[in-house]
Amino acid sequence: MGSATPVVLLCPGFHPPHLTQGFLQGLTAIASLDCSSWLILPSPIAPVSAPEIATYLATVVEINLTPVIFIGYSAGAVGAIAAAQLWQQQGGTVRALLAIDGWGVPLIGNFPSHRLSHDPFTHWSSALLGPGADSFYAEPGVSHWDLFQFPDLASGWWIKGPGCRIACTAAQFLATHLSHYLAEGNST
């Protein structure tokens, strides 16, 4: 269990669809990630509804065979964290969660989680609710939408631990973690 190729589920928030397309293009351009097989939460499903997200996911992958990497943006981060916990409770494997500008969303779970924030204040104030593992924040800050739509243009800091930060873009941070979790074997 857990050794199958993971699926990536992107849970966007409440925003125009072109932002999601920009996000995928930004990752593909800078990191050469193939996002074509990713699942994107369909718009009739509320991005904050964990039961709906988990039900959708169960219709497209086998819960006990396919590990899932959740990416949530804004309101989608709310649904993604709760759906990841629900998925795990139902016997599924959560490889990781990446929360993009999920301000006020506690990163709690029995799986690796990473937070990306559009500015230092959002990063600091969100970390009070659980920083997750290593994280990223844009500096100089960018708009909430720009972090998602243009991850390849959002420069900032990858926080690897106390006193250890690396200059990179949001896309580089995401690509590094996604590549790791997509290649990871049986461990969670």
Q: Where are the alpha helices (DSSP H) in 6-113?
A: 17-31, 50-60, 75-89
Q: Class of 7-183 per CATH? A: alpha beta
Query: pLDDT tens-digit profile of 145-173?
Result: 999 999 999 999 999 988 899 999 999 99
Residue 136 phi, psi (nearest 5): -140, 145
Side chain identity, residue 128: L
135-167: string of b/e by CB count within 10 Å (b at 16+)?
bbbbbebbebbbbbbbbbbbebbbbeeeeebee
Query: pLDDT tens-digit profile of 31-76?
Result: 667 888 999 999 899 999 999 999 999 999 998 899 999 999 999 9
Say if residues 109 and 97 touch (Cβ distance below 8 Å): yes
Domain limits of the chain?
Answer: 7-183
Say if residues 39 and 9 touch (Cβ distance below 8 Å): yes
